[in-house]
Amino acid sequence: MRRFSAFLISAGIAVAQDLANGQRIFQSQCAHCHGPRGEGGRGANLAKPRLRHAADDAALFKIIDQGIEGTEMPGAGMTIPETWQVVAFVKSLGRVPPSTLSGDPVRGEKIYAANGCAGCHTIRGRGGALGPDLTDVGARRSPRHLRASVTEPEAEAPDGFLQVRVTPRKGPRMTGVRVNEDTFSIQVRDLAGNLHSYWKNDLAELQKDRGKSPMPAYGGKLASGELDDLVAYLASLEGAR
């Protein structure tokens, strides 16, 4: 029966009951990251016919079961039939027409270049390293999340980014982003992108600014049409790193 329902799902003939169960599980375990209709948020947009990490049903099953290593996507570890039901539901999301954005990505690329974004972000190997690599950000984040990241960076900071302020006993104070930390030492990238390493013993103070970001908020700096164009450009970045 399990095998049979897996076969039906991969043949695109999920039974109504399977879909309903898959939807119920999705709402409780996935929707807070992927949105109730899979439109994306902190997690990727799933409402599209082709998924970057899931070329076929077996790959989709594996992602849902085990997560994607090195990303915020966790493994769900459900039973085999439950996992297939969620596979069926995720596939059904891709059948709705993708939402279209009003902005112009070509103009958006110019706005990106004119506002110093590349000083902190890398796209296809070019740019600074203080902020996250944006080469494939359009595949990982929804347009709504991208817009909020630009207008209010502190509200939408991704996991793993922590702004720190370091006051050495000798030498200048410094604000930057934590790259690595263990019991005895901390490595920090300053706002110019240079890496510094400190022994904690040598520090007078180490402050961690949770919920803070070195990224400026662009909400007031860009006209709303410019923001639409910039978001359209970011959403178009789906390339492999």
Q: How far apart are CA 35 and CA 30, in angstroms?
A: 8
Q: Minimum distance from CB of 24 to ligand HEC (Å)?
A: 11
* Residue 90 in the binding site for ligand HEC (CB under 6 A): yes
Q: Which two tokens stand for residue 203?
A: 């520090």
* Residue 191 in the binding site for ligand HEC (CB under 6 A): yes
- Between 5 and 60, whose beta carbon lies closer to ligand HEC? 60
Q: Are 187 and 196 in contact (CB under 8 A)?
A: yes
Q: How far is CA 220 from CA 17, 111, 217, 223, in A?
A: 49, 14, 8, 8
* Residue 177 in the binding site for ligand HEC (CB under 6 A): yes
Q: Minimum distance from CB of 206 to ligand HEC (Å)?
A: 18
Q: Are 202 and 168 in contact (CB under 8 A)?
A: yes
* Residue 101 in the binding site for ligand HEC (CB under 6 A): no
For residue 164, list its beta bridge partners: 176, 208
Q: Which two tokens stand for residue 63?
A: 């992602």
Q: Minimum distance from CB of 201 to ligand HEC (Å)?
A: 27
Q: Which stretch binds ligand HEC (CB under 6 A): 95-103, 168-176, 194-202, 210-218?
A: 210-218
Q: Which stretch binds ligand HEC (CB under 6 A): 4-12, 43-51, 164-172, 194-202?
A: 43-51
Total interface residues for ligand HEC by CB under 6 A: 55
* Residue 214 in the binding site for ligand HEC (CB under 6 A): yes
- Between 12 and 202, whose beta carbon lies closer to ligand HEC? 12
Q: Which stretch binds ligand HEC (CB under 6 A): 3-11, 39-47, 97-105, 166-174?
A: 39-47
Reference 218, options 209, 228, 208; nearest CA is 228
Q: How many DSSP H helices and E strands does the chain contain?
A: 9, 7
Query: What are the b/e assignments for 123-153, b being 16+ CB within 10 Å?
Result: beeebbebbbebbbbbbbbbbbbbbbbbbeb
- Between 8 and 33, whose beta carbon lies closer to ligand HEC? 33
| Coil/strand/helix, residue 110 | helix
The binding site for ligand HEC (CB under 6 A) comprises 26, 29-30, 33-34, 42-44, 46, 51-54, 60, 63-64, 68, 71-74, 76, 86, 90, 112, 115-117, 119-121, 130-132, 137, 139-141, 146, 149-150, 153, 156-158, 161, 177, 191, 213-216, 218, 230, 234
